[in-house]
Amino acid sequence: MEPHSENLRCPADQQSPTCMARAFVLRVAFATAIFHVVLSIFTIGASDYSNPRIMVHTALWPIKMLLWVVLHLIVFFIPSQFFLGFGWVAFVLGILFLIVQIVIFVEFTFELNEAWIEKDGADNVQGPWHMAILAISVLCFGLAIGQTVVMFMFFGTNNQTGETDGCELYQV
């Protein structure tokens, strides 16, 4: 039996469903990451359809599916200790990805807001485009609050007993 780190929060028996599920998720995430890295390496510099390497991206689906399946089988032969390190790398890269996505979303929202204000004129705060910005803002804030409430309802307590198990905020 391979030793597991405390990062997986595995009990002493190391065969619990929780421990096995966390190890499985890290293995599948690693295989998927390798799959996409391989595809991206093959398409570096292929910017249009005249380059035959673009087929790696747009075609060859049977080969890509076979590669995907083989990668997902191979990862089960790699020791678990490797995936604990990968888990931290994936965590950091995931945070960076989310930050980039937030910046892109804020930039898009800012540009859209500027374009809509320009249609009404900056001084016409009761124009239809200003009202559309206000309506969408109120709608999005309402949806965000509603989504937060629903997440706390579903993930904030143990649904089987209705009692908290000390892990509520982590789950949300």
pLDDT tens by residue, 89-110: 888 999 999 999 999 999 999 9
Convert the pLDDT of each residue in 48-61 to its tens digit.
Answer: 888 888 888 888 89
Residue 1 · residue 14 · CB < 8 Å? yes
Q: pTM higher than 0.75, yes or no?
A: no
How does pLDDT run across 118-141, given as a tens digit for each residue?
998 888 889 999 999 999 999 999
Residue 60 CA to residue 12 CA, distance in Å, equals 46
Q: Is 67 or 158 the better-scoring residue by pLDDT?
A: 67
User: Could you tell me the residue ranges of all domains in the chain?
Assistant: 1-99, 121-172
27: tokens are 């293995």
Q: Which residue has the tokens 């649904």?
A: 159
Provide the 3-class DSSP secondary structure of residue 1: coil
Q: What is the pLDDT of residue 12?
A: 58
For the chain, what is the radius of gyration of the CA atoms?
Answer: 24
What are the pLDDT digits (tens) for 62-87? 999 999 999 999 998 888 778 778 88
Q: Is 43 helix (H, G, I), strand (E, B) or coil?
A: coil
Q: What 3-state DSSP class applies to 4?
A: coil
Query: Could you tell me which residues come within 8 angstroms of residue 141 by beta carbon, excluding any fewer than 6 positions away?
Result: none
Indicate the average pLDDT of the chain.
82
Binning pLDDT at 50, 70 and 90, where does residue 169 land? low
CA distance 84 to 114: 45
* 99 touches 115 (CB < 8 A): no
pLDDT of residue 78: 85
Joined together, the tokens standing for residue 61 give 């689906």
